[in-house]
Amino acid sequence: MIKRLLIALVALILVVGGVVGYNLFRSKMIAQFFANMTQPPVAVSVSEVKPITWQPGLEAIGTAAAVRGTELAVEMGGTVQEIHFKANDKVEKGQVLMQIDDSSERADLASAKAAQDLAETNLKRARQLADRGVSATSNLDQAEASAQEARASVAKLQAVLEKKRLTAPFAGIIGIPQVEVGQYVGTGTTYATLQDRDHMRVDFTLSEQQARHAEAGQTVKVKTEDGSVDLEGKITGIEPKIDPNSRLVTLRAEVPNGEGKLTPGQFVHVTVVLPSEDNVIALPQTVVSSNLYGDSVFVVRKQTPEGADQPQLVAKQVFITLGRRSGTLVEVTKGLKAGDMVVNAGQNKLNSGATVSIDNAISPDPDAPSTEEVMKAFGMEGNAQANSDATSDASADSASDAASDGASDTTSDGAKAQ
């Protein structure tokens, strides 16, 4: 009985040891295979680093307003008698816009004119009597005072009538009427808005550091959020003090708006154009990768790996220092030099030291050189695509073999388990 148990125990140990040993051996061989397997080149596109003429600018957000724009209001209360405009009419300076009922004032004016005529007649008679010496000087003085008072009364009533006859203070586009005929309006009631949209101004703010670079007369570029409007103007004013709460400086620019594309109150993006600078290295912002360690790009370089017969193109991660931004470009102050080939597409599949193949047909940069020009710059013209295809085919075959080996191993394991 004991002998049978020992034989069964020994047999069990041999079977378990064989299975464990085989699995260890297989894992070791698989790891060795993948360690020695050549990774296929990653297809990327590149842009050549070239010094450019940098057009720096100060970015800001502003609000458009008409140079001449106002809310038209009633100067004297009364009942609206006539409205002489419609919404969005083009009106001229001095054009009658609205008439307030002035019948009472007209009657008062007629009475005042009659009193003026009487005062003028009395003054004329007093002067004749004074010239003959049959009237006292005080009578002439009293007649002159009465005539002046009558003239003042007429002028006052005429001014009241003018205030009830509302006219356009300047030419422009008038808005929607805010009152109706027959409505009683009090002094100060707004009845429409009037905007001269031919000339616009834009108010915007800059930080106190940025404001040091701005001055009156500088060119500004104004764009709307959707990019449908692109105008240029000049800075006409800079607030002489800094807002103590926001630490911002308010600036104003005037912008021609002959086509009327810019609307008062519209939200706009403003760029203050600064003097251009030569020999600045700049890249599209999409090329730069940012992480906790800093900003970096992948630069393609030619090198010959150990044991290789011919040179290959390898992507190296290079950390850079960024400077100013302008539109889609960002300035690179340190880390790159003219002539470097920077990966602009496919960098999300890269790690530093990965072998790459150049395919600038997929480049998002319209100014990027062609694939042939890039390979010529590396001194590898005519060979890169063939090598890339051969490497890809070999990698695919190796991966297929590995998959087949894994499948046969799995089948063997299953058979043994059975």
- In this predicted model, what pLDDT tens digit does every residue of 162-210 receive, in sequence order? 888 899 999 989 999 999 999 999 988 999 999 988 888 999 999 988 8
Rounded to 5°, angle at Cα 294 from 290 and 299: 75
Work out the average pLDDT over 326-350: 86
Check residue 104 and give its pLDDT. Answer: 84
404 has pLDDT over 70: no
Report pLDDT digits (tens) over 113-123: 888 888 888 88
- The label of the residue with tokens 């020994």 reads 10
> Is residue 415 very low, low, confident or very high in pLDDT (cuts 50, 70, 90)?
very low
Question: Among 38-47, 163-172, 219-228, whose mean pLDDT is lowest?
Answer: 38-47
- CA 275 and chain centroid, separation: 21
What's the sign of the alpha-carbon dihedral 284, 285, 289, 293? positive
Mean pLDDT of 214-219: 90
Residue 319 reports pLDDT greater than 90:
yes
Q: What is the mean pLDDT of residues 99-112?
A: 86
Neighbouring C-alpha atoms within 13 Å toward the C-beta of 106? 6
Band (pLDDT 50/70/90 cuts) for residue 399 is very low
- Per the CB < 8 A criterion, the answer to whether 49 and 283 are in contact is yes
Integer Cα distance of 172 and 12 in angstroms: 103
pLDDT tens digits, 237-250: 999 999 999 899 99
Check whether 129 has a pLDDT greater than 60.
yes
CA distances from 250 to 58, 225, 253, 257 (A): 13, 21, 10, 22
Neighbours of 319 (CB within 10 A): 12
Q: Does 54 score more than 90 pLDDT?
A: no
Give me the count of residues in the chain.
418
pLDDT for 316 beyond 80: yes
| Percent with pLDDT over 70 in the chain | 87
What is the DSSP annotation of 314-336? EEEEEEEEEEEEETTEEEEEES-
Cα 271 to Cα 274: distance, rounded to the nearest angstrom: 9
Q: Which two tokens stand for residue 166?
A: 């509302």
pLDDT band for position 384 (50/70/90)? Answer: very low
| Residue 131 CA, distance from chain mean position | 82
pLDDT at position 205: 93
Would you say 247 and 262 are in contact if contact means Cβ atoms under 8 Å apart? no
CA 110, 112, 117 angle in degrees (round to 5)?
95
pLDDT digits (tens, 9 = 90+) for 256-277: 887 778 888 889 999 998 888 8
Task: DSSP for 147-161, please give it.
Answer: HHHHHHHHHHHHHHH
CB-based contacts of 375, cutoff 8 Å, min separation 6: 358, 381, 382, 383, 384
Residue 418 pLDDT > 60, yes or no?
A: no
What pLDDT score does 35 carry?
A: 62
For 283-294, what is the mean pLDDT?
88
CB 219 within 8 A of CB 234: yes
Helix (H, G, I), strand (E, B) or coil at 146: helix
Predicted confidence at residue 414, as pLDDT, reads 38
Mean pLDDT of 368-375: 81
pLDDT, tens digit, 9 for 90 and up, residues 272-282:
988 888 888 88
| Residue 381: predicted pLDDT | 65
Residue partners of 1: CB distance under 8 A and separation at least 6: none
- Interatomic CA distance for residues 34 and 325, integer angstroms: 44
Q: Whole-angstrom Cα distance, residue 268 to residue 250?
A: 15
Contact assessment for residue 344 and residue 386, using Cβ atoms and an 8 Å cutoff:
no
